[in-house]
Every structure is written in structure tokens, then in C-alpha cells.
């Protein structure tokens, strides 16, 4: 059977689901296949930073996740049993109404699946991609069982071992970064405060204990445990052995009573790698999420980066599918997103090395230089802002133009805050649409040009206190496309730079 679609998304993790929701919001036909028999049941990530929460909001997928999130937005570090450093990830520092969520990845994925279903989509489980061949018009994908699907575009959101990436011949250079980590979610009565996570620096390697919301909201004794095992071989321990190892390690490294760890609901071991795809696009094949970049999970950058890729790609792919933009627009996806992933690899690798602290000299540096530094509110604000990805900007990207180096903020390429607009919020109106921010006279001058280029997926809004001489065009991913005076020819120049053309 040969079934056709505009975009075939391979992989129903956070990146694939966010991309699929975004494409449906833009009126693109999409199919999502996943080789797994059904949704993943293991928690994996437990922190979604603020920018990822904004993506969920713009996609209409946030629902009641904020109410269900644990409030563990503080990390206390102990050395020699004494608390020496507290890092806060909370909203007072960031000034955002959408702070980070402390929830298992399963809940983020479930929220995205619900939204995908509301929009008319459905994941085809038990359907792995085994082969793909592209030609000038599209891609023929072969699924398990020999079924073929013809798609105009193929999006590889199939994780670190991406089949799509390999079939497209895209390199994934990098290297292992650490030895093995032990990982588990378990019920425990350690007597630790649940207002945040706890980390112990220790010569044998660090130990982290972080509160997890219990599935269904019952009980308050579920914890995420992570311990580094320097020098450990690749031998995999089973769940009972991991439980025993944790009971020993929490005593040795943190002075906690090991027998208070009652049971485990999930256990695993992993080794950290850092790898970055050599390209995000090969003809009609695109990559997003872990298929394009992997790094240390410490710092919680995986989902937020993958969902950011998806949001950036969705509107560009939609314009190309609808024939409103040239393929060149898709090259701006890699130009905007790959430098960010490279920075995430750099920062998470540095954090992982510091956390491991695997030399006496490094441990001295951490104790006497870095700890006092990180206790400073200004340093914490910068670190938290960077981790949140709220400050991500595409100012240096190909769409920003020269105006991005000058003038008032936000500049072209910057994220636009969630402005109040006469009874609504800017971000609530985006996702599947662009926003023209203007008062009546400015709107009347710009609307015809914008609708000729972008069709009916544009909403005109007037933010509270807006000036008559300002017009902004905001992209569906909340980045500023262009700002200027009503009637200026800069808007047309921006549309041409993006290779978005007016309908004939």
C-alpha cells in the first residue's frame, strides 16, 4: 500500500510530537510513526525548562501540568555533609509566568499526545521506519512489514540512534564524556526537604536526590536518584543490584540511611555522550531533537532543545508545504538551531566535568572558587537564564538582517515576551499563527502585505500601551521577525530575505 502525506514524522518523543502538533496547527497533513509498541512508561527526564513550557503553551498542550509540577526548583549542594550552595531555578529570578516544570517526561509526552489527538492526529505505534529514498518531489519511506508511505518531507525525530539520520548519511561526530551513572526513581523516607533537589560532591563521585511527583499525585516519597560510578565498566546491573548499590552509595556519600530506600519503580544505567549532527537537513530529510544532538542530561537541556527545534521547524516547513516560501527558508532552520545545540553541548559538558570533579585540584577549585561564585545571586540569575533558554536569540541568524545589531530590544531574532494584548496574551495567539503588533492605522497599512505573504494565519493585536509609530511582525515561535514604522519597505525586505513570496 502506498499512502501519502505532507510530512512523515518518525518518532513520537517530545520533539516529534511537538513538531506534529505545530504542523497540524499550520494546516499541514502529518503522520507520526513510532517503532515502540506504545507510549514509554519510564520517567526519564524530570525537568522541563521555562522555554519548553512556553512551547507547550503556544501549542495549546500545557493543560494542568503547572498544577501537577513539583516545586523542586532549588538545588542544594553539600560538601563534607554541609550545605554549601543553593541554586534556584524559580520564576522570581526569570520573571516569567511559565516557570520550569518538575514532572516526568511521560507526563510531558502524554500532554503532547492529548493535544495531537485534539487536533485530529494519532500516533501509529509499532511502526518503525526501516528505509527511505528521496527524489526531487519527496521521500518514499518503507515501514516495518514492507508498507510504504510517500511524503513530501521526512522529519527524523527518532532519538539518539536515529535511523533517519543514518539513512540520510548525516554524520554524528562526538565522543563519550563520562563513565557510567546509576539512575533510579524510588520510594524513600530519607527525611530530606522536598522543596528542591539535593546533590553531594564526594571524592567517589557525585550523588543527586531529587523529589519526583508520584504518578496520580498520591504519596510524597518518590525520589529521582543519580550516582556516578567512576571507572565502572559497561556491565549492566539489574534492578535489584541497582537498589543495593544505591542503598550503599547514599550512606557512603550523603550519610543517609540506605535502608530508607524502600523500592525502585524504575532503574537504569547510562553513559554520557556528546554528539552533534553535521547537518540538520539533507534535501527533503530534516532532523530534530536527540536525532540531531545529544549531551549530558545534567542541566535538563534535552527536551527544551528538541521542542525548540520542533517549533522553529514547524512554521518554516508549513510555509514551504503550502507553497508560500522557497526551500531556502528551511536552511535557516539549521542556521538558527545548530549553533544553539553546539552551545548546549559545550555548557552541559562543562557542567558534567565540574559535577564529576574527578581530580583533587578540580575539587579544590570547586570548593574554594566556584561554590562562592555560584552562591552570588547575579551568577545564579545568569546561569538560570541560560538554562531556561528564554534568552535564546537568532540575532546572528540569516533572517535577522542588519537591524538586529542596532536599536532597542527586542531586536529581530530575539524572543518577544508574552505581552498583554487587550484581553488576551501574545503567546496564546501564536503557535499556529503569526502576530502583527500594531495600532489601527499601522495595522491598516501593513495587513494587506502580510496577508498576501502569510495568508490567513496572521492575527493583528495591539499590546497594552502600544505606540502608533511601531509595528512588529512576530513569528509563530515568538521570535521577532521585523519591527519598524508602518508603511516602511523593511517589512517587504524581511519577507524576501525569508524567501516568503506573496501569492500571485
Interacting residues with ligand FAD (CB under 6 A): 10-16, 33-36, 44-48, 105, 128-129, 157-159, 163, 183, 270, 289-290, 297, 300-304, 306
* Burial zone of 489 (CB within 10 Å; 0-12 exposed, 13-18 middle, 19+ buried): exposed
Q: Alpha-carbon distance 227 to 344, whole Å? A: 22
Collect all residues with Cβ–Cβ distance below 8 Å to 207 and sequence separation of at least 6: 199, 200, 225, 226, 227, 228, 249, 250, 253, 254
Question: Which residue's entry shows cell 535502608?
Answer: 259
Q: Alpha-carbon distance 51 to 100, whole Å? A: 8
The kind and range of the H/E element at 26 are: none
**E strands present in 355-449:** 420-421, 424-425, 434-437
Which three three-digit cell numbers place residue 310?
520542533
Asked if 6 contacts 152 with a C-beta cutoff of 8 angstroms, the reply is yes
Which three three-digit cell numbers place residue 105?
517526561
* Rg for the chain, CA atoms, rounded: 24
Which three three-digit cell numbers place residue 357?
570533579
197-227 burial code (b ≥16 CB/10 A, e <16): bbbbbbeebbbbbbbbbbeeeeeeebbbbbb
Comparing CA positions, the residue from 61, 40, 60, 39 lying closest to residue 124 is 39
Q: Which is nearer to ligand FAD, 301 or 460 (CB)?
A: 301
Question: Which residue's entry shows cell 539513512?
Answer: 167
Asked if 122 contacts 21 with a C-beta cutoff of 8 angstroms, the reply is no
Q: How distant is the alpha carbon of residue 292 from its chain centre? A: 12
Comparing CA positions, the residue from 121, 157, 149, 125 lying closest to residue 15 is 157
Which three three-digit cell numbers place residue 418?
508574552
Asked if 462 contacts 423 with a C-beta cutoff of 8 angstroms, the reply is no
Strand 424-425 with 420-421, pairing: antiparallel
Q: How distant is the alpha carbon of residue 74 from its chain centre? A: 20
Is the Cα dihedral 498, 499, 503, 504 positive or negative? positive
Backbone dihedral angles phi then psi of residue 149, each to the nearest 5 degrees: -130, 135
**Would you report the helix, strand and coil content of the chain in percent, each value rounded to 5?**
35, 25, 35
> End-to-end distance of the chain based on CA atoms, in angstroms?
36
Collect all residues with Cβ–Cβ distance below 8 Å to 166 and sequence separation of at least 6: none
Amino acid at each position: 500500500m502506498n499512502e501519502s502525506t505532507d510530512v512523515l514524522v518518525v518518532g513520537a518523543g517530545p520533539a516529534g510530537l511537538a513538531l506534529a502538533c505545530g504542523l497540524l496547527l499550520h494546516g499541514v497533513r502529518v503522520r507520526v510513526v513510532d517503532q515502540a509498541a506504545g507510549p514509554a512508561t519510564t520517567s526519564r527526564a524530570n525537568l522541563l525548562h521555562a522555554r519548553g513550557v512556553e512551547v507547550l503553551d503556544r501549542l495549546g498542550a500545557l493543560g494542568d501540568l503547572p498544577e501537577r509540577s513539583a516545586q523542586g526548583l532549588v538545588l542544594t549542594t553539600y560538601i563534607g555533609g554541609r550545605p554549601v550552595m543553593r541554586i534556584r531555578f524559580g520564576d522570581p529570578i526569570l520573571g516569567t509566568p511559565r516557570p520550569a516544570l518538575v514532572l516526568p517526561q511521560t507526563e510531558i509526552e502524554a500532554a503532547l499526545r492529548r493535544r495531537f489527538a485534539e487536533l485530529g492526529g494519532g500516533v501509529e505505534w509499532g511502526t518503525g521506519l526501516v528505509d527511505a529514498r528521496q527524489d526531487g518531489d519527496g521521500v518514499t519511506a518503507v515501514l516495518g512489514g514492507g508498507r510504504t508511505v510517500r511524503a513530501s518531507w521526512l522529519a527524523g525525530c527518532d532519538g539518539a540512534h536515529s535511523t533517519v539520520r543514518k539513512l540520510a548519511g548525516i554524520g554524528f561526530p562526538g565522543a563519550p564524556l563520562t563513565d557510567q551513572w546509576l539512575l533510579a526513581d524510588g520510594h524513600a523516607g530519607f527525611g530530606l526537604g522536598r522543596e528542591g533537589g539535593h546533590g553531594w560532591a564526594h571524592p567517589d563521585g557525585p550523588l543527586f536526590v531529587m523529589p519526583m511527583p508520584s504518578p496520580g499525585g498520591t504519596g510524597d516519597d518518590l525520589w529521582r536518584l543519580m550516582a556516578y560510578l567512576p571507572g565502572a565498566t559497561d556491565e549492566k546491573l539489574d534492578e535489584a543490584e541497582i537498589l543495593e548499590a544505591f542503598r550503599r552509595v547514599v550512606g557512603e556519600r550523603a550519610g543517609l540511611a540506605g535502608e530508607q530506600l524502600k523500592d525502585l519503580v524504575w532503574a537504569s544505567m547510562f553513559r554520557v555522550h556528546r554528539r552533534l549532527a553535521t547537518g540538520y537537513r539533507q534535501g527533503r530529510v530534516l532532523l530534530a531533537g536527540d536525532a540531531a544532538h545529544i549531551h549530558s542530561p545534567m542541566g535538563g537541556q534535552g527536551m527544551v532543545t528538541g521542542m525548540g527545534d520542533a517549533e522553529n521547524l514547524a512554521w518554516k516547513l508549513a510555509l514551504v508545504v503550502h507553497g508560500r516560501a522557497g526551500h531556502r527558508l528551511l536552511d535557516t532552520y539549521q542556521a538558527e538551531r545548530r549553533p544553539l545545540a553546539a552551545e548546549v553541548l559545550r555548557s552541559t559538558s562543562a557542567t558534567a566535568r565540574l559535577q564529576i570533579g574527578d581530580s583533587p585540584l578540580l575539587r579544590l577549585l570547586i570548593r574554594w572558587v566556584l561554590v562562592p561564585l555560584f552562591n552570588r545571586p547575579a551568577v545564579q540569575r545568569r546561569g538560570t537564564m541560560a538554562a531556561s533558554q528564554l534568552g535564546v536569540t537568532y540575532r546572528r541568524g540569516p533572517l535577522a538582517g542588519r537591524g538586529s545589531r542596532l536599536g532597542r530590544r527586542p531586536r529581530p531574532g530575539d524572543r518577544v515576551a508574552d505581552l498583554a494584548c487587550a484581553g488576551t496574551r501574545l503567546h496564546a495567539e501564536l503557535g499556529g499563527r503569526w502576530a502583527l503588533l500594531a495600532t489601527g492605522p499601522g495595522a491598516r497599512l501593513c495587513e494587506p502585505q502580510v496577508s498576501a505573504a502569510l495568508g490567513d494565519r496572521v492575527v493583528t493585536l495591539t499590546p497594552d500601551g502600544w505606540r502608533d509609530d511601531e509595528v512588529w511582525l512576530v513569528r509563530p515561535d515568538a521570535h521577532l521577525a521585523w519591527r519598524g514604522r508602518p508603511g516602511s519597505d523593511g517589512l517587504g525586505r524581511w519577507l524576501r530575505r525569508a524567501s516568503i513570496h506573496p501569492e500571485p
